[in-house]
Amino acid sequence: MNIKGKIIQVMDEQNGESAKGPWRKKEYILETEGEYPKQVCFMAWNDKIDAFAINEGDVTDVSFNLKSREYNGRWYTDVEAWKVTKGTGMSPLPPGRPDNMVDELDDDIPF
C-alpha cells in the first residue's frame, strides 16, 4: 500500500532491548492533501530510520505494510514503512476522490 503526503510531525525515537537484540523505532505523522485531509501515523524501524532521513515538512510517498496483533483481548495495528520516496510537491487529486491513498486494486466496481 502507498500513501502520499506531507510530514507534519516527527516523534522522538524509541529504543529498547528484546530477545533478538537492540531495536529502534521512530514514528511520523503524515497529512494527505485534498478536500478531506487525513493524518496517518506510520513508523520506521532500526536502520530504515537513518536510510529514510525523514524531516518535518518533507513531502513523501510512503510504501507500507499493515500489521495487526492481539494483546489481552485487544487488537493493535501498526503502519510500518518499508520504502519512502521524497518529492517536491503534492499532485492534485482526481476529481471526486476524497483522499490520496493509492489503492492496490483500482477497478470500476462502485463498492
Q: Range of 28's domain?
A: 2-90
- What per-residue confidence (pLDDT) applies to 5? 96
- CATH code for the domain in which residue 32 is found: 2.40.50.140
Domain presence at residue 84 = yes
Domain presence at residue 38 = yes
DSSP per-residue letters across the chain: -EEEEEEEEEPPPEEEEETTEEEEEEEEEEE--SSS--EEEEEEETHHHHHH---TT-EEEEEEEEEEEEETTEEEEEEEEEEEEEESSPPPPPTT-SS-EEPSS--S---
- What per-residue confidence (pLDDT) applies to 93? 43
- What per-residue confidence (pLDDT) applies to 97? 47
* Spatial separation of the C-alpha atoms in residues 52 and 82, rounded to whole Å: 9
Contact assessment for residue 64 and residue 3, using Cβ atoms and an 8 Å cutoff: yes
- What per-residue confidence (pLDDT) applies to 41? 96
Which residues in the chain show pLDDT less than 70? 88-111
Domain presence at residue 105 = no
Q: Is the pTM of this model over 0.85?
A: no
Count of domains for the chain: 1
* Spatial separation of the C-alpha atoms in residues 51 and 73, rounded to whole Å: 35
- What per-residue confidence (pLDDT) applies to 87? 82
- What per-residue confidence (pLDDT) applies to 111? 45
